A and B are shown apart, each in its own frame.
Chain A
Amino acid sequence: MSGRVLVGVKRVIDYAVKIRVKPDKSSVVTDGVKHSMNPFCEIAVEEAVKMKEKKLIKEVVAVSCGPQQAQETIRTALAMGADRGIHVEVTGKDYETLGPLQISKIMAALAKKEEAQLIILGKQAIDDDCNQTGQMTAALLDWPQGTFASEVSLEGDKIKVVREVDGGLETIKINIPAVITADLRLNTPRYATLPNIMKAKKKKIANMKPADLGVDITSRLEVLRVDEPPQRQAGVKVETVEDLVSKLKEAGLV
């Protein structure tokens, strides 16, 4: 297989940040908060760049949807070795309601436009934990999917994917073109090097809007409320086994 890989990269609140809910309970605070590339997207970029270094594919295109700042995330992908970027501009209320369905429609449209042979995404984003975009994108394109990938290899005109599933590891072979979603153990993403960061400045990022791709990004979901997790309640110490059993019975648990 030779050809083009699309890699989706999402700008999320950095994993180390302490999340705070807005006083109006509408969402979490993002202003002035440190953002970075979703860790699973970093793994996706790394996998694509490794494939290119092994000469299995020709071009890695990094895609991000969002406001102006999404370009920072694309630049990070370029600094890791992606060849060019596509920024699909979505701002304001549209950005707040952007979810897996909208992204997968955009990715599917781009895959057709760019004649991509492979889409690699992170298995999920660490902000919404949806774990849907890869699967929906494959469905919209009617492509096979290899999700939760911990190992990916090309075997002729097929892709072998080892998947991390609840029971252990599952190995499947799927046709190209396909959608892969990256799990934690797929690889260890490289640091961008200083020279690569500087080279990335010269790489192109194309700008477009969802409408240019004929995609309707209206959301079918409405977020009613965002709350902090409930405070952990103090436990109760009991003296005897009989006390324990009676407390469990009181709580209706036995």
Chain B
Amino acid sequence: TFSFSFTAHGLTDEQREFQKVAFDFAANEMAPHMAEWDQKELFPVETMRKAAQLGFGGIYVQPDVGGSGLSRLDTSVIFEALSTGCVSTTAYISIHNMCAWMIDTFGNTEQREKFCPQLCSMEKFASYCLTEPGSGSDAASLLTTAQLKGDHYILNGSKAFISGGGDTDVYVVMCRTGGKGAKGISCLVVEKGTPGLHFGKKEKKMGWNSQPTRAVIFEDCAVPVTNRLGEEGQGFNIAMKGLNGGRINIASCSLGAAHASVQLARDHLLVRKQFGETLSNNQFLQFKLAEMATKLVASRLLVREAATALQENRPDAVSLCAMAKLFVTDECFNICNQALQMHGGYGYLKDYAVQQFVRDIRVHQILEGTNEVMRMIISRNLLTESS
């Protein structure tokens, strides 16, 4: 296993135990199926429930509602390891975790008790609904309305690109209860089966094929006021707080893919011969491999630092999460892409895993806030800080 000591460096004994379980689970339960899940577009419910039994359904959710109560760093280590088995499935598990955390953190007692235990066990699955056809990066301009009528909100509008949409049970929806902009947005939990909740067609994607992606459509969909998380107008804040952690999770998934890809490339270089010797004797490839490994280690350090900053609620946490997401998703995509190149023609075949790592992590540079939006966040924080 490639420089295992690097992945475990700086971790406590307990974190190494978490990592070991996650690596073992990835190798035994996910890696053998990752190609099939991708090619047949299967949502591996049973495998994810097995993961939930180990505590992976609500890793940073509090234990009183069924979560594992671990830190953001523990979480990053776990998702990085799971991703080596299947990026797409791990990324969905991380989105599910983000939603469970939002309800755990901003929900009242009734909401936490109603939703969190079933999400932590993955008896029910969750989806995060912010993006709309007309509002991606400009998330605060979202148009889905929630009009108060008695003890229900009536939702009208549609969400786009929703991971798990149509197959999941609990939808955490950002919608407009008030005026324009971020301050008019609230967060509602909508349950599958609610009249007026519809889904679009399943999207055909370049990667992330083990999770279905659909539009989520609301047509006079009545949601009880008791399903609102936090106060009216707090929704955007809840969404962004969820995304800080989500960005660390997605970056961690990219790390796992890059780690696996460097291993695959290294093994290929030791076996493939051209011009009378193994590719590993070629200086260009040696240097390229060294660069890939160096950037992987640098990426890992940045993600883990961001995770620690978020856990400790440091003032620089938001910037660090954005930096980690920006740097790591870009670098790791380049690493996986380079690993594919090192495989030559074989890298292009679906018989080889490296192409799936490339396809699966490409979207990490786009979702949970594009890498362009990450630059907006970082520069804004730099330009508005007092000194």
Task: Evaluate contact between B16 and A194: CB separation under 8 angstroms.
Answer: no
A23 at the interface (CB under 8 A from B): no
Is B55 a contact partner of A79 (Cβ separation < 8 A)?
no
Interface residue? B59 (CB, 8 A): yes
**Shortest beta-carbon distance from B137 to chain A in Å:** 35
B106 at interface by CB-CB < 8 Å: no
Knowing A36-B20, A75-B13, A76-B17, say if A194 contacts B1 (CB, 8 Å). no
> Closest CB-CB distance, A205 to chain B, in whole Å?
12
Interchain CB contact (< 8 A) of B17 among A17, A32, A192: A192
Contacts of B55 in A (CB 8 A): 193-195
Which A residues are in CB contact (< 8 Å) with B59? 194
Q: Which residue of A lies closest to B63 (CB)?
A: A195
Q: Which residues of chain A are within 8 angstroms of B25 by Cβ–Cβ distance?
A: 191
Residues of A within 8 A of B14 (CB): 197-198, 201
A-side interface size class: 10 to 19
CA distance A191 to B70 in the complex (A): 18
- Binary contact readout B1-29 vs A (1 if CB under 8 angstroms, 0 otherwise): 10011000000011011101100110000
Q: How far is the CA of A163 from the CA of B25 in the complex (A)?
A: 29
Asked whether B1 lies within 8 Å of A17 as measured between CB atoms, the reply is yes
Give the interface SS of chain B, mostly helix, strand, loop or mixed. Answer: helix
> Is B218 located at the chain interface by the 8 A CB criterion?
no
**B4 lies within 8 A of A72 (CB):** no
Give per-residue flags for A101-127: 1 if the beta carbon is below 8 A from chain B beta carbons, else 0.
000000000000000000000000000
A198 to B15, CA, bound (A): 10
Question: Which of chain A's residues have a CB closer than 8 A to the CB of B16?
Answer: 72
Q: Is A83 an interface residue (CB 8 A)?
A: no
User: Is B13 in contact with A72, judged by CB distance below 8 angstroms?
Assistant: yes
A79 CB contacts on chain B under 8 angstroms: 17
Q: List 15 A-B contacts (CB under 8 A).
A: A14-B1, A17-B1, A72-B13, A75-B13, A191-B24, A192-B17, A192-B21, A193-B53, A194-B18, A194-B54, A194-B56, A194-B59, A195-B68, A197-B14, A197-B21
Listed from nearest, the 3 A-B pairs whose CB atoms lie closest are A194-B55, A34-B4, A194-B68
Q: When the two chains form their complex, are residues A76 and B1 in contact, meaning their CB atoms are under 8 A apart?
A: no
Q: Which A residues fall within an 8 A CB radius of B? A: 14, 16-17, 32, 34, 36, 72, 75-76, 79, 191-195, 197-198, 200-201
* Neighbour of A194 across the interface among B4, B13, B70, CB < 8 A: B70
Count B-side interface residues using an 8 Å CB cutoff: 20
Bound-state CA distance A148–B379 (Å) is 65
Nearest B residue (CB) for A71: B13
Which of these, B1, B4, B13, B21, contacts A191 with CB under 8 Å? B21
Q: How far is the CA of A247 from the CA of B14 in the complex (A)?
A: 60
Within 8 A of A (CB), among B55-79: 55-56, 59, 63, 68, 70
| Interface contact B1-A34, CB-CB below 8 Å | yes
Q: What residue in chain A is nearest B270 (Cβ atoms)? A: A18
CA distance A192 to B63 in the complex (A): 17
Q: Which chain A residues border B24 with CB–CB below 8 Å?
A: 191
| B280 → A minimal CB distance (Å) | 14
Find the residue from B17, B56, B68 having the highest chain A CB count within 10 A.
B17
Shortest A82–chain B CB gap in Å is 14
Q: CA of A244 to CA of B114 in the docked complex: distance in angstroms? A: 76
Give B98-119 interface residues, CB cut-off 8 Å to A.
none
Of chain A, the residue at the smallest CB distance from B267 is A18
A16 touches B68 (CB 8 A): no
Query: Once bound together, how far apart are the Cα atoms of A79 and B17, in whole Å?
Result: 9
Q: How many angstroms from the CA of A79 to the CA of B19 in the assembled complex?
A: 13
Residue in B closest to A14 when the chains form the complex, CB atoms: B1
A residues less than 8 Å from B17 (CB atoms): 75-76, 79, 192, 197, 200
Give the Cβ gap from A36 to chain B, nearest Cβ, in Å.
Answer: 7
- A-chain residues with CB within 8 Å of residue B20 when the two chains form the complex: 36, 76, 192
**Docked pose: A176 CA to B1 CA in angstroms:** 42
Across-interface contacts of A72 in B (CB, < 8 A): 13, 16
Which of A14, A16, A194, A201 is within 8 Å of B21, CB to CB?
Answer: A194
What's the least CB distance linking B274 to chain A, in Å? 20
Residue from A79, A194, A201 whose CB has the most chain B CB atoms within 10 Å: A194
Report how far A191 CA is from B47 CA in the complex, Å. Answer: 13
